[in-house]
Each structure stands twice: as structure tokens, then as C-alpha cells.
């Protein structure tokens, strides 16, 4: 919202730039403790600076805008009647918010800025569906660091909500023609669909045929019951939205201003509560519990506690990705079940397992390459047993019939089998004379940002910690700093013969640098805020002293 500075009247360009810098730089400084380490890791990730297709993943199809105001129009993903791809952002604006924004359509600079922000962000959210995003993408190289353009809708919704709020602050609200047209259209549409559903269904079928094979396929997907269900929902949605809008206008016109604002705010939340839920992809709690229990049974089946060390590997081919359903519409429950069954790192927290997988917010390029080259990414390459040993895998869930050297099957079902390593390496293992082993490693402790172990070895060796090598890690052997070495994609340290205590700690310079910058930013911001406060308090003291002086003068 720093762009608002450029529409403030009576400011020179120099003053505008200084104001932006004066606000933006302290804000960036306060956030530096997070921004600096994130920038460091992002530069090493394989999800940064990729192709145009990657950057435009999750572009907001213009057809999807209907669901922001009349969500029933595109079906309900919870009942399986959704007939468009929903995308990665499941937002909701609502009819009342839109009408309030239009009623108070801006004539001042602030309102025009908010309206411009809403329109520009909505256009950018369309991503690959508009040439505007392409122009921005190629003009600003940093755009390739991000994906899912539909996230720009956050600015759209925020700007529209501010415009709606400004309308409620107006002393007199003049009803414009466009909101009246919207109300009448919604009411008429709802009434027609409610009274003549068969005629509405006939119109839909005629329109779908005009779209060719795709339209016919969608009709077949929904079926007659699905079409009737959508029509019923649209009718209820249209009538309810128009009724809410009419009530809001009556409140504004008839009630005291403060009471009206409160009543309209309650209507906004009521509309949000009723209809925002259908814009979400959600799973019933009972289904989530069932999937979790099934996942626990799958991963722990046939695994004695004594072998419950090291990490778990789940071959992606055991549970194929359900991907998108019909017309790109995701099957929310199938996707959730797959995420859980595959034991991806972001869902393994459900069961507390340490897993081998390549999916994360910022997977490092070196680790992703290791997974691909070792056949651990579910691709066409065969699984390398040596890679499982390097990764510290002690148990694996693989497709039925799969054999892995060094692993023994402990359970077999129709679709998968559970394998246990005959010589598990664990999270820590020793490399010496070309051989790998975990004998002599005890007292293993792992946590957020640290890992420790006690090592006993008869000769010099490399102690490998199966965690991705990344900048910022330090290691101490018997309390003395040692260089962190790189062993494939993992971290390692050289240890001499004997017994040693080894501790890896994540202590990046980028974090400390960010912390210093954040401290300076907080101090600077506090100084800016405290100065007017001290001035106000000082002025208050002078005002209190003045009457005493007047009284003394009168006594003289």
C-alpha cells in the first residue's frame, strides 16, 4: 500500500520517494530476521526462478470470478457439483461487499487508489490469461521467483473491503443505478430459477451445446440431478444475496448511523458465514481421522519397535497421485489421503515419522537432484539401495513385488509391501575404508536446528548426518569447532579414533545479520513513534502549568 503515497496531493516527487523509503525501509528492516535467511535458502532452492509455466501455475481463470460474488454458480466442491477448476485461492467477496463498494464508488484520491488497486490486482491474478501479467513478468525478473498469480486476489479483496467500509462512513449515501440493477438482476434470476427450474435447465443445456464437446462433457459429468442441485443452490444464493443487500440499504436509510453500521456489519459476516464455506476445499473431520488411522497402520505395519529408527521411505508409486479430477477439479479427499499416505514431510507431522521425500516449501536443489538420480522420486529410474542407505532409511513401503537389495519384506498386501533394512544406517552413520555402518553411534538426539550423537570408532572416519547440506550449520566435536564437510547431499564431520561427542547446530550468519538489522529497525521505528509521544506529554505539562501562572499573576 506504499503506492498510496503517490496519490497524496501537494507532495513533490522527492517528498513521495522519501516518504516511501522512510516507511518501506524500516518495515523491511524489522522483517529482516526472516527475510535474510529466507533469501539465502531461496537462492539454493529448486523452486526459484523457473519457467513461465511454473510462474503462471494457479492463474485465475476469468470464469472463476463468478464464485467470488455468487459462489453457487460454479457448484459446490463439498457435494461434488463443482464444474470449474477452482485454483489455489478459494476467496469470497460477496454481493453486499460488492454493492457497498459500488454505492460509494470513489471520487476522491484515496477511493480512486483503492479502486485502481482492486482492478490492477484482479487483472494480475489472471496470470497467463492476460497479456498484462506477461508484460510485468518479463519487465521484472523477480516475478519468476513466485507462482500462483491468483494470490493477487488478496489485494483485490482487501481493497474492496476498504471501499465498502468507506461507504458506511459516508454521511449520506446516494443509491446509484448500478447497484439497483444488480439487486433486480439477482432477484429476478433467483425467482426464475426457483419458479421455472425446467426452463432454466433447458437454457443451460442449449448454452452448453454451444461450447462444443467440453460443454457436453460437463453436462454429462453433472447429470440431471447435479444440474438441478446447482440451479437450486444458485436460486437460493441469488435470492439470499439480494435480500441481504436490500436489508443493508434499508438499515442505512432508516436507522441511526451507528446502529446501521453495526447492523450492516453483522449482515456482512452472516453472508460470509453462509457462503464462504463453499469456496473452501475441506474434508470432514471423521474422514480425516480415518485417513490418519489408515496411514498409521500402513507405515507401522510389521515394524517392531527395535527397528523403528532411521527414516521411512514411501515409494510414490504405491499411492499414485490422484491429480485433478474431471475438468481439473481436485478431489479434495483423495488429495488429502494421498498426501498423508505418501508421508510427505509436510504431512508426516500427523504421525511423527522422519520421512524421505522431496516436497517442501523450499526444497534445496542438491537434495531434489539426489532423489531424482536415486530413483526415490517415483520416476522411471529404479530405486538404488545404496541411496536408501545413504539417506538413513531403515524401512520402506514399496509396490507389491518390488525387491530392494539389503531389505527384507515383513508384510505384503495386494498393493504394497513393507521392507526393513538388514543393516539400517540411521540418521547418523560412519564412513570408513569405503564402508558404511552405524555401530558405535549412541545417544542420538535430534530437534529443530540441532542434532547430537556420541561416537566410538577404532580409527579415523567420517560421521555423516543424513540432513541436507546447507549454509549456516556448525559442528563441534568434544566442544571444539570443526568444519562441516559435504558428503553427497548431506552433512559430515571428520572424527579421529576414540570416543567423541558431536553436535551439529544451525546457526547461520544470515540469521544473525537479520537479527541485527531487525534490532536496528525496531529501535529506529520506536524512536519515530516515541518522539511525538514525548512532544505530546511535554505540551500537556506546559498546558497544566499555565493556569497556575495566571492565578499567581492575579494575586499580584
Residue 493 clears pLDDT 90, i.e. is over it: yes
Computed on alpha carbons and rounded to an integer, the radius of gyration of the chain in Å comes to: 31
The domain boundary residue, chosen from 231, 252, 279? 279
Residue 305 clears pLDDT 60, i.e. is over it: no
User: 443 burial class (0-12, 13-18, 19+ CB within 10 angstroms)?
Assistant: exposed
Same domain (yes/no): 271, 298: no
Identify the three-state secondary structure at position 444.
strand
Same domain (yes/no): 139, 176: yes
Cα torsion angle, 88, 94, 97, 101, sign: positive
Q: State phi, psi for 146 to the nearest 5 degrees.
A: -125, 160
Are 32 and 518 contacting, i.e. CB atoms less than 8 angstroms apart? yes
Percent of the chain whose predicted confidence (pLDDT) is above 90: 12
Its domain, for residue 376, covers 285-421
Range 26-40 average pLDDT = 89
Task: Compare 29 and 249 and report the one with higher pLDDT.
Answer: 29
> Is 17 part of any domain?
no
Same domain (yes/no): 67, 169: yes
User: 53 burial class (0-12, 13-18, 19+ CB within 10 angstroms)?
Assistant: exposed
Q: How confident is the model at residue 454 (pLDDT cuts 50, 70, 90)?
A: very high
pLDDT tens for 405-447 read 889 888 877 777 888 888 877 788 898 887 887 788 888 888 8
Which of 315, 418, 422, 426 lies closest to 371, judged by CA? 315
Residue 5 clears pLDDT 80, i.e. is over it: no
Output the 3-class SS for 2-65: HHHHHHCCCCCHHHHHHHHHHHHHHHHHHCHHHHHHHHHHHHCECCCCCCHHHHCCCCCCHHHH
Same domain (yes/no): 270, 372: no
pLDDT at 194: 66
Strands (E), 328-427: 355-356, 393-399, 407-412, 416-421
Residue 302 clears pLDDT 50, i.e. is over it: no
> Is 15 part of any domain?
no
Report how far apart the first and last C-alpha atoms of the chain are (Å, whole number). Answer: 58
CA dist 371 and 466 (Å) reads 13
> Is 149 part of any domain?
yes
Q: How high does pLDDT run on average in the chain?
A: 76
**Residues whose CB is less than 8 angstroms from the CB of residue 138 and which lie 6 or more positions away in sequence, other chains included:** none
Residue 556 clears pLDDT 80, i.e. is over it: no
pLDDT at 154: 86
Which of 281, 283, 308 lies closest to 296, judged by CA? 308
Instruction: Report the DSSP beta bridge partners of residue 172.
Output: none
> Is 37 part of any domain?
no
Are 324 and 330 contacting, i.e. CB atoms less than 8 angstroms apart? yes
pLDDT at 341: 58
Same domain (yes/no): 350, 480: no
The domain boundary residue, chosen from 375, 395, 421? 421
Task: Compare 466 and 494 and report the one with higher pLDDT.
Answer: 494
Same domain (yes/no): 406, 473: no
pTM above 0.75, yes or no: no
The domain boundary residue, chosen from 279, 310, 343? 279
**Residues whose CB is less than 8 angstroms from the CB of residue 75 and which lie 6 or more positions away in sequence, other chains included:** 81, 82, 83, 84, 222, 226, 230, 233
364 C-beta neighbours (distance < 10 Å), count: 19
Q: How confident is the model at residue 301 (pLDDT cuts 50, 70, 90)?
A: very low
pLDDT tens for 162-192 read 888 888 777 666 666 666 666 667 677 767 6
pLDDT at 553: 52
Residue 86 clears pLDDT 70, i.e. is over it: no
pLDDT tens for 41-51 read 888 887 776 78
Residue 359 clears pLDDT 60, i.e. is over it: no
Q: How confident is the model at residue 303 (pLDDT cuts 50, 70, 90)?
A: very low
pLDDT at 479: 93
For the record, the C-alpha cell of 333 comes out as 479427499
Q: How confident is the model at residue 147 (pLDDT cuts 50, 70, 90)?
A: confident
Identify the three-state secondary structure at position 308.
coil
pLDDT at 425: 77
Task: Identify the residue whose cell numbers are 443452490.
Answer: 233
Indicate the angle between helix axes 95-103 and 213-254, nearest 10 degrees.
60
Count of domains forming the chain: 3
> Is 494 part of any domain?
yes
pLDDT at 492: 94
For the record, the C-alpha cell of 538 comes out as 511535554
Residue 346 clears pLDDT 60, i.e. is over it: no
Same domain (yes/no): 171, 302: no
For the record, the C-alpha cell of 283 comes out as 474434508
Task: Compare 502 and 239 and report the one with higher pLDDT.
Answer: 502
CA dist 209 and 444 (Å) reads 66
Same domain (yes/no): 329, 401: yes
Listed ranges 145-149, 349-353, 411-415; the one with the highest mean pLDDT: 145-149
pLDDT at 89: 52
**Residues whose CB is less than 8 angstroms from the CB of residue 90 and which lie 6 or more positions away in sequence, other chains included:** 279, 280, 281
Range 189-217 average pLDDT = 67
CA dist 71 and 74 (Å) reads 6
pLDDT at 238: 80
pLDDT at 512: 92
Percent of the chain whose predicted confidence (pLDDT) is above 70: 69
pLDDT at 308: 40
Find the Cα–Cα–Cα–Cα dihedral 378, 381, 387, 391, rounded to 10°.
Answer: -20
pLDDT at 345: 47
Kindly report which listed range (89-103, 114-128, 372-386, 509-523) carries the lowest average pLDDT score: 89-103
pLDDT tens for 90-122 read 567 778 888 888 776 667 777 888 888 889 999
Q: Give the DSSP H or E segment for 453.
A: strand 450-457
Same domain (yes/no): 75, 113: yes
Range 11-38 average pLDDT = 83
Kindly report which listed range (23-27, 126-130, 501-505) carries the lowest average pLDDT score: 23-27
Same domain (yes/no): 300, 381: yes
pLDDT at 475: 95
pLDDT at 224: 74
Same domain (yes/no): 357, 485: no
pLDDT at 448: 79
> Is 516 part of any domain?
no
> Is 549 part of any domain?
no
CA dist 83 and 221 (Å) reads 8
β-bridge pairing 461-468 and 490-495: antiparallel
Residue 243 clears pLDDT 50, i.e. is over it: yes
> Is 2 part of any domain?
no
Same domain (yes/no): 247, 326: no
Amino acid at each position: 500500500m506504499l503506492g498510496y503515497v503517490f496519490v497524496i496531493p501537494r507532495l513533490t516527487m522527492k517528498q513521495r520517494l522519501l516518504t516511501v523509503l522512510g516507511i518501506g525501509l524500516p518495515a523491511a528492516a524489522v522483517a529482516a530476521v526472516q527475510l535474510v535467511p529466507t533469501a539465502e535458502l531461496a537462492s539454493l532452492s529448486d523452486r526459484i526462478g523457473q519457467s513461465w509455466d511454473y510462474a503462471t501455475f494457479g492463474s485465475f481463470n476469468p470464469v472463476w470470478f463468478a464464485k467470488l460474488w455468487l459462489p453457487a454458480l460454479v457448484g459446490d466442491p463439498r457435494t461434488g457439483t463443482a464444474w470449474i477448476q477452482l485454483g489455489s485461492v478459494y476467496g469470497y467477496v460477496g454481493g453486499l461487499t460488492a454493492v457497498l463498494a459500488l454505492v460509494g464508488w470513489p471520487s476522491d484520491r484515496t477511493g480512486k487508489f483503492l479502486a485502481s488497486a482492486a482492478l490492477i490486482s484482479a487483472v494480475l491474478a489472471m496470470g497467463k490469461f492476460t497479456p498484462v501479467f506477461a508484460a510485468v513478468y518479463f519487465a521484472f525478473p523477480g516475478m519468476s521467483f513466485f507462482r500462483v498469480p491468483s494470490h493477487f486476489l488478496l489485494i483485490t479483496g482487501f481493497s474492496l473491503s476498504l471501499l465498502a467500509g468507506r461507504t458506511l462512513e459516508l454521511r449520506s449515501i446516494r443509491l446509484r443505478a448500478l447497484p439497483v440493477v444488480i439487486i433486480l438482476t439477482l432477484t429476478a434470476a433467483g425467482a426464475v430459477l426457483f419458479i421455472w427450474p425446467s426452463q432454466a435447465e433447458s437454457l443451460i443445456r442449449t448454452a452448453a451445446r454451444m461450447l462444443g464437446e467440453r460443454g457436453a462433457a460437463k453436462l454429462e459429468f453433472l447429470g440431471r440431478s447435479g444440474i438441478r442441485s446447482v440451479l437450486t443452490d444458485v436460486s437460493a444464493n441469488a435470492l439470499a444475496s439480494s435480500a441481504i443487500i436490500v436489508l443493508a440499504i434499508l438499515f442505512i436509510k432508516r436507522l441511526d448511523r451507528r446502529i446501521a453500521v453495526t447492523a450492516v456489519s453483522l449482515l456482512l459476516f452472516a453472508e460470509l458465514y453462509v457462503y464462504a464455506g463453499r469456496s473452501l476445499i475441506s474434508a470432514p473431520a471423521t474422514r480425516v481421522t480415518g485417513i490418519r488411522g489408515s496411514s498409521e497402520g500402513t507405515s507401522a505395519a510389521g515394524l517392531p519397535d527395535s527397528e523403528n529408527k532411521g527414516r521411512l521411505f514411501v515409494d510414490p508409486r504405491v499411492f499414485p497421485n490422484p491429480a485433478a479430477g474431471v475438468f481439473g477439479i481436485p478431489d479434495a479427499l483423495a488429495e488429502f489421503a494421498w498426501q498423508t499416505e505418501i508421508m510427505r514431510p509436510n504431512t508426516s507431522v500427523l504421525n511423527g515419522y522422519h520421512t524421505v521425500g522431496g516436497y517442501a516449501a523450499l526444497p534445496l536443489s542438491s537434495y531434489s537432484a539426489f532423489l531424482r538420480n536415486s530413483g526415490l522420486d517415483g520416476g522411471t529410474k529404479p530405486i538404488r539401495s545404496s541411496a536408501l542407505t545413504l539417506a538413513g532409511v531403515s524401512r520402506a513401503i514399496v509396490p507389491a513385488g518390488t525387491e530392494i537389495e539389503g531389505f527384507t519384506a515383513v508384510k505384503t498386501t495386494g498393493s504394497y509391501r513393507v521392507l526393513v533394512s538388514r543393516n539400517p544406517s540411521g540418521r547418523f552413520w560412519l564412513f570408513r575404508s569405503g564402508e558404511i555402518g552405524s555401530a558405535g553411534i549412541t545417544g542420538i538426539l535430534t530437534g529443530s536446528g540441532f542434532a547430537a550423537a556420541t561416537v566410538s570408532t577404532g580409527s579415523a572416519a567420517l560421521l555423516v548426518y543424513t540432513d541436507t547440506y546447507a549454509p549456516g550449520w556448525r559442528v563441534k566435536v568434544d566442544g571444539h569447532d570443526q568444519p562441516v564437510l559435504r558428503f553427497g547431499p548431506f552433512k559430515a564431520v571428520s572424527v579421529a579414533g576414540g570416543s567423541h561427542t558431536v553436535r551439529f547446530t544451525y546457526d547461520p550468519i544470515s540469521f544473525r545479520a537479520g537479527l541485527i538489522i531487525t534490532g536496528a529497525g525496531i529501535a529506529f521505528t520506536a524512536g519515530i513513534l516515541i518522539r511525538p509521544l514525548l512532544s505530546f506529554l511535554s505540551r500537556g505539562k506546559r498546558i497544566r502549568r499555565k493556569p497556575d501562572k495566571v492565578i499567581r499573576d492575579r494575586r499580584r
